[in-house]
Every structure is written in structure tokens, then in C-alpha cells.
């Protein structure tokens, strides 16, 4: 199936591992020139080499702190200098921060919104003029089902992700006339480095606990009975930015094995 993506340019924030790396890998397989950014240069270069080896596609790395407006300016200056355009933006940078409401500090709230909400806003503001001049583009905001159905002890993430979902719908209305399609992928339990770090901490207490066993236990709470693979999320993102999804905008898609109580 031709996805119509060959030669497109994609910027993926938080692209050195997990969902971002998987999206970059999937897009690169379709002939997209990918630009990945994250804070740690060594992790970026490792991811870039893996993507190049697997796909033969062009990969550009730009170390970037998405909470820094100055870093975002530099990121897109370098992308435009190298490629002259941006066809796809995946706002993926983020961490999982969750606590009971009255235990969460102002600093934690501020950082979470700077990273997940203002990061997406600032990056989108950089690409929208480019996409308008090109005749269109695609923006994917990565959020979670918790932004639609918050659980206890889920702030600030559930609130910042709710903002990301609302931002997606609003932007889709503003820019449909410009052929800029904006959607959100709501990530459930997906294998990632943050889950592996939690397993490492648990493994220090119980050396017999394997990573596979850790994921198997996590998967018991998922209706499909397993934790998802990052590749599955990457392939979904690739479909949503492709020509095959040209009539889809302003939607949220859960990828959570059926775990969310809402659609």
C-alpha cells in the first residue's frame, strides 16, 4: 500500500526512544526524511544510527529541550535550512507525572505544562506558516486516554493531556481550510523506557523478576491481555499522517488494548 509519504519531511519531538523513535522508524520505512530531537545527544545519535541501518532513510538529529523557546527556534531554523519545509510534526515529548492533587507542587504543574502543552503549542506555531505555504501538512499530538477519563492520583498528566486533546480539536477547526490535518493519538500501556526503568527498580529488589514477566503482569489489566509495542503506535501515527487518512482530522484515537472506559 502506497502511503504517499516518500520525500516528506517529519519532525518528531522526544524522538530518541519509545513512541517517538518508533514513529520515526515507521515513517522512515515509508521514505520520509525524519528529524528527531530530544535533550540527550548520545541517545539521539544512537536512535538515528538504528533508524538509518533499518531503513536506509535520511535521519537528522537536533538536541533540543522542548521546554526552551530558544531551543525550539534553533530546531526549526536547522530543519528549514536543511530541508526547506516541514510536512509532518509529531508532538511527542513528554513524561509520565502522576500524583494525588494536594501532593503536587507548583513546580511540577508548571514543568508538565511547559513540556507537554506549551511545547506542542510552540512547535506547532513554527510549522503552521510553513505548512500553509506548502499547501498543507499533518500534526499529531501525543496524549493519553487519561486526558478524557482521569483516574485518581493522575495529575498533572491527566490535566495537561486533556489540554492537548482540546488543543487538537481547536487547531483542526482553525486549519482545515489550509489542508493542515491535526489529530491526537492517546497512548495507553505501551512498552517504553519509562516502564523499563520502573522494572529495573523492581528488579533490584527481586532479581528473579524478568522484563517479560513485568510486562506480562502489567498486561493483565488490559482487555487484550498484553502491553502494546511502540511499533504499533508508530504505525498508527504513520497512517494518520499519510494520504490514506486525508479525510481524518480533529479525532483522538486510543491505542490502549481496550483499557480506556471512553471512546
In whole numbers, what is the pLDDT of the chain averaged over residues? 97
pLDDT at 194 (0 to 100): 85
Q: Is residue 263 part of a domain?
A: no
Query: How many CB atoms lie under 10 A from the CB of residue 108?
Result: 14
| 52 lies in some domain | yes
Residues 56 and 170 in one domain: yes
With respect to residue 4, please indicate whether it lies within any of the assigned structural domains: no
What per-residue confidence (pLDDT) applies to 191? 94
Predicted local distance difference test score (pLDDT) of residue 193: 85
The answer to the question of residue 260 being in a domain is no
- What span, in angstroms and rounded, lies between the C-alpha atoms of 157 and 143? 9
Q: Which tens digit of pLDDT belongs to each residue from 120-170?
A: 999 999 999 999 999 999 999 999 999 999 999 999 999 999 999 999 999
**Residues 6+ away with beta carbon under 8 Å from 15:** 21, 23, 24, 34, 35, 36, 37, 38, 44, 47, 90, 92
**Over pLDDT 90: what percentage of the chain?**
95
Tell me, yes or no, whether 78 lies in a domain.
yes
93 with 207, same domain: the answer is: no
Instruction: State the pLDDT at residue 187.
Output: 97
> Does any domain span residue 140?
yes
Residues 138, 22: one domain?
Answer: yes
In terms of domains, do 120 and 216 share one? no
pLDDT at 41 over 90: yes
Q: Which domain holds residue 166?
A: 9-190+229-255
Is the same domain home to 203 and 125? no
pLDDT in tens, 17-39: 999 999 999 999 999 999 999 99
What does the pLDDT average to over 168-195? 96
At residue 75, the pLDDT reads 98
Cell representation of residue 78:
536547522
Q: 175 and 158, same structural domain?
A: yes
CATH number of the domain bearing residue 68 = 3.40.50.720
Tally of structural domains, the chain? 2
pLDDT (tens digit per residue) in 209-257: 999 999 999 999 999 999 999 999 999 999 999 999 999 999 999 999 9
Cβ neighbours for 245, distance < 8 A, ≥ 6 positions apart: 181, 239
* Pair (203, 89) in one structural domain: no
In a domain, 3, yes or no: no
Amino acid at each position: 500500500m502506497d502511503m504517499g509519504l516518500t520525500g516528506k519531511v517529519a519532525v518528531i519531538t522526544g524522538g530518541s526512544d519509545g513512541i517517538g523513535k518508533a514513529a520515526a522508524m515507521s515513517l522512515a520505512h515509508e521514505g520520509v526524511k525524519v528529524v528527531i530531537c530530544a535533550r540527550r545527544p548520545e541517545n539521539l545519535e544512537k536512535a538515528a544510527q538504528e533508524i538509518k541501518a533499518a531503513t536506509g532513510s535520511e535521519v537528522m538529529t537536533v538536541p533540543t529541550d522542548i521546554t526552551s523557546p530558544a531551543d525550539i527556534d534553533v530546531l526549526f531554523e536547522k530543519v528549514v535550512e536543511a530541508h526547506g519545509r516541514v510536512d509532518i510534526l509529531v508532538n511527542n515529548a513528554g513524561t509520565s507525572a502522576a500524583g494525588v492533587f494536594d501532593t503536587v507542587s507548583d513546580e511540577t504543574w508548571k514543568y508538565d505544562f511547559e513540556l507537554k502543552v506549551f511545547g506542542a503549542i510552540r512547535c506547532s506555531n513554527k510549522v503552521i506558516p510553513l505548512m500553509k505555504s506548502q499547501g498543507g501538512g499533518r500534526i499529531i499530538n501525543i496524549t493519553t486516554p487519561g486526558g478524557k477519563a482521569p483516574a485518581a492520583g493522575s495529575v498533572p498528566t491527566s490535566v495537561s493531556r486533556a489540554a492537548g486533546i482540546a488543543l487538537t480539536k481547536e487547531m483542526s477547526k482553525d486549519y482545515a481550510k489550509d489542508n493542515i490535518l491535526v489529530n491526537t493519538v492517546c497512548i495507553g500501556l505501551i512498552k517504553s523506557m519509562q516502564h523499563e526503568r520502573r522494572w529495573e527498580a523492581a528488579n533490584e529488589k527481586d532479581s528473579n523478576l524478568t522484563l517479560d514477566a513485568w510486562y506480562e503482569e502489567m498486561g493483565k489489566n488490559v482487555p487484550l491481555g498484553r502491553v502494546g509495542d511502540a511499533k504499533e503506535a508508530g504505525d498508527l501515527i504513520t497512517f494518520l499522517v499519510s494520504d490514506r487518512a486525508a479525510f481524518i482530522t480533529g479525532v483522538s484515537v486510543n491505542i490502549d488494548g481496550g483499557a480506556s472506559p471512553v471512546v
